[in-house]
């Protein structure tokens, strides 16, 4: 059974990312949050890999409750 993800904040991480492939930290243990650094090893959790076609500003979930991982859906508000 996977461990519970650890919330790192109660609001999203808003950041500009260049076009490319990324791995969003789903466990909350990464020292490079909101991106994965491999700290999920042994937790039963895996990062969410996503790709951006163009550079843009995104809101990445930090509470780990989103239904639209890796992007914030406002779940931290409830």
pLDDT of residue 24: 98
DSSP 3-state assignment of 14? strand
Positions in the chain short of pLDDT 70: none
- pTM here is 0.92
Residue 11, both tokens: 């609001």
Neighbours of 35 (CB within 10 A): 17
pLDDT of residue 1: 74
Q: In terms of Cα–Cα distance, which of 10, 15, 14, 37 is closest to 24?
A: 37
pLDDT of residue 4: 93
Chain mean pLDDT for the chain? 96
Residue 42 per-residue DSSP state = T
């Amino acid at each position: 059974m996977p461990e519970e993800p650890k919330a790192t904040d109660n609001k999203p991480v808003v950041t500009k990312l260049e076009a490319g492939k990324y791995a969003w930290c789903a466990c909350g243990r990464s020292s490079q949050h909101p991106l994965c650094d491999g700290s999920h090893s042994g937790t039963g959790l895996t990062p969410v890999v996503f790709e951006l076609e163009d550079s843009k500003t995104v809101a990445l979930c930090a509470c780990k409750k989103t239904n639209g991982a890796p992007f914030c859906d406002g779940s931290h508000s409830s």
